[in-house]
Amino acid sequence: MKTILTLVSIEGRLVWKGMDILIFGICFPVLLSALFGYLLSRDAAQGPSNFQLSFAAVTTIGILATGVMGLPLTIADYRHRGILKRFQVTPVSPALLLAAQGLIQLTAALLSLTAVVAVYHVFFQFRLGGSWPVFLGVYLFVMAAMYSIGLLIGSLVPNQRAANLWSSLAYFTMLLFSGATIPYEVMPRFAQWLMDLLPLAHGIHLLKQAAVGQSLSGALPHAAVLTACIIIGVGGAAKHFRWK
């Protein structure tokens, strides 16, 4: 326990020296929270449900930034600089290093969630229509799926340039076309069909149902897609991960 806490402290300082998590994981969702809150909370024609739906969508941006962008880029950087290889000959295993990095990214995602909740609640009197424990449980489930995708990307890419390419492609595709920034409900039907091909779209569907208090009994297809992401991501990473 002491070892991983020390690693988290050291790695955390290194991660937060950069601006990526702060900008993409926290500042960006906070700005969108202010924008959506201003537009939807004051427009009676939109209805309170759309306000709640926007909250569910914005909370996933922090997951995307840390899981699909931050995690694979860090893995690729560690491999490129030989850090993982060096840790193999020390009492601290590379797996422990990755666990510490994953914990840092998870903490950043939860900070992003807290910031989004604060903006919606303090400035726009947001009230969750459903249960907070259910919402948080779904949030962690979506996080596990996105982090599995990030871990798979970090395991498969041959070099840092490829990591930048595939992480950016996954991040911006899901950011723009899964309903995180552009509301799913306003898109034409053919566009919604294409959006449903992206894993995060299914996660956002689940979070929206939890946010408005709808039953999750009919959410099996969405849950199945996310579960498949976890199985494929973790299984593929375990099979193909390269320490050097």
Residue range 126-140: average pLDDT? 91
Output the pLDDT for position 70: 86
Is residue 77 within 8 Å of residue 160, measured between CB atoms? Answer: yes
Which residue shows structure tokens 């290194």?
A: 14
Q: What is the DSSP letter of 185?
A: G
Poorest-pLDDT segment among 3-17, 45-59, 172-186, 219-233: 3-17
**What is the tens place of the pLDDT at every residue in 98-122?**
777 778 888 889 999 999 999 998 9
Question: What pLDDT is recorded for position 92?
Answer: 63
Closest CA to 105 of 153, 163, 97, 211: 97
Q: What average pLDDT does range 53-61 have in this prediction? A: 91
92 is written with which tokens?
């601290």
Q: What is the pLDDT of residue 110?
A: 92
Q: What is the pLDDT of residue 173?
A: 92
**CA–CA distances in Å: residue 194 to residues 167, 179, 190:** 20, 11, 6
Of residues 99 and 232, more confidence is placed in 232
The structure tokens listed for 124 are 């726009």
Mean pLDDT value of segment 209-221: 83
At position 155, the amino acid (one-letter code) is: S
The pLDDT of residue 41 is above 60: yes
Arithmetic mean of pLDDT, 46-64:
82
Where is average pLDDT lowest: 70-79, 107-116, 228-237? 70-79
Handedness of CA 159, 3, 145, 27 (dihedral sign): negative
The more confident residue out of 201 and 46 is: 201
Burial class (CB in 10 A: 0-12, 13-18, 19+), 97: buried
In this prediction the pTM is: 0.88
pLDDT of the residue at 53: 85
* Mean pLDDT of the region 55-59: 92
Where is pLDDT greater, at 188 or 44? 188
Q: What confidence score (pLDDT) does residue 44 get? A: 45
Question: How far is it between the farthest Cα atoms of the chain?
Answer: 63
